[in-house]
Copies of this chain bind each other. A is one copy, B any other.
Amino acid sequence: MPALTTYTTNIHPDWVDYNGHLRDAFYLLIFSYATDALMDTLGLDSENREASGHSLFTLELHLNYLHEVKLGAEVEVHTQLIAHDAKRLHLYHSLHLVGDEKELAGNEQMLLHVDLAGPHAAPFTEASLQRLSAISQEQIDLPRPALLGRVIGIKKAPIKP
């Protein structure tokens, strides 16, 4: 079972820089739409958000830019669930040209389930937990993404004696 394909789009003119390349923030907008699509899958679509008063907030994310993406390109996001607990979901999105395996960018996200009435953190509903478990089970054979858990930094070269 492959990662879910959560979002497909072409690269819009207002997402690119003067060179016709996708700007860093718009890679994240595409991944953000992919998270919205995953929310629908978890029963947290806009209709249910209004009915249940719950949503997912982004707590933290890490993004690696691997290749340029050009104006007009057709891209898709693959999504792999990494872990979840009662209130949090850790996932990994990767960006690809449609039908192509090569990873153009990778985005690790930590999301928090919130009760919008607070807003404050709230446990997932039983229905959402069942969906999360079902997807995790389907993805159990997927390898762990190589870019998970990275720390940003410039290593100083050792001083030679």
Binding site for B on A (CB under 8 A): 18-19, 23-26, 28-29, 31-32, 46, 57-65, 68, 83-85, 88, 90, 108-110, 116, 119, 148-154
Interface of A is mostly: mixed
How far is the CB of A157 from the nearest CB of chain B, in Å?
8
Among A18, A23, A26, A28, residue most surrounded by chain B Cβ atoms (within 10 Å):
A28
Contact of A28 among B25, B46, B68, B90 (CB under 8 A): B25
Q: A60-B65, A61-B63 in contact; A108/B25 too (CB < 8 A)?
A: no
Q: How many copies does the complex hold?
A: 2
| Inter-subunit contact A25/B18 (CB<8 Å) | no
* Distance A63 CA – B151 CA, assembled complex (angstroms): 12
Contacts of A153 on B, CB cut-off 8 Å? 83, 90, 110, 149
| Interchain CB contact (< 8 A) of A61 among B58, B62, B148 | B62
A142 to chain B: closest CB distance in Å? 17
Contact across chains for A154 and B61 when beta carbons are under 8 A apart: no
Chain B contacts of A119 at CB under 8 A? 68
- Complex partner residue of A60 from B88, B109, B152, CB under 8 angstroms: B152
A84 partner residues in chain B, CB cutoff 8 A? 154
A61 CA to B60 CA in the complex, in Å? 11
With A26-B29, A59-B65, A90-B152 already in contact, 4 other A-B pairs whose C-beta atoms are closer than 8 Å = A24-B32, A59-B64, A149-B151, A149-B152
